[in-house]
Amino acid sequence: MIPVSGVDGERIAVLGLGRSGRTTAAALRAGGATVVAWDDGPAGRAAAEAEGIELRDLARDGAMSDVAALIVSPGIPHLYPAPHPAIAAAWEAGVPVDNDIGLFFRSFGTEEWMRFDQPPKVIAVTGSNGKSTTAALIQHVLTEAGRESQLAGNIGRGVLDIDPPGDGGVVVLELSSYQTDLARSLTPDVAVFTNLSPDHLDRHGGMGGYFAAKRRLFAEGGPDRCIIGVDEAEGQYLANQLSESRADDRVIRVSVTRKLPEGWTVTARKGYLAENRKGRQVGAIDLRSIPGLPGAHNHQNACAAYAVARTLGLAPRVIEGAFASYPGLPHRSQLIAERRGVRFVNDSKATNVDSAVKALMAFDRVRWICGGLEKAGGLAALLPATGSVVKAYVIGREAESFATQLKGVDAEVCTTMAQAVARAAEEAEEGEVVLLAPAAASFDQYDSFEKRGDDFAAQVAALGV
- Binding residues are 127-133
* 26 SS3 class: helix
Geometric angle at alpha carbon 156, from 151 and 161, rounded to 5°: 80
Q: Is the dihedral of CA 379, 231, 434, 325 positive or negative?
A: negative
Rounded CA separation 367/387 (Å): 12
Rounded CA separation 28/26 (Å): 5
Decide if 124 contacts 175 (C-beta within 8 A): yes
Rounded CA separation 262/254 (Å): 12
Rounded CA separation 62/59 (Å): 8
Cβ-based neighbour number of residue 115 at 10 Å: 7
Name the residue among 136, 132, 127, 137 with its Cα closest to residue 285: 137
Residues making up the binding site for ATP: 127-133
In order, the DSSP letters of 148-175 are -EEEEESSSB-GGGSPPP-TT-EEEEE-
Rounded CA separation 286/297 (Å): 15
Decide if 177 contacts 126 (C-beta within 8 A): yes
Name the residue among 194, 181, 35 with its Cα closest to residue 102: 181
Rounded CA separation 161/100 (Å): 10
Cα-atom radius of gyration of the chain, to the nearest Å? 23
Rounded CA separation 149/132 (Å): 16
CA atoms lying within 13 Å on the CB side of residue 308: 35
Rounded CA separation 73/92 (Å): 19
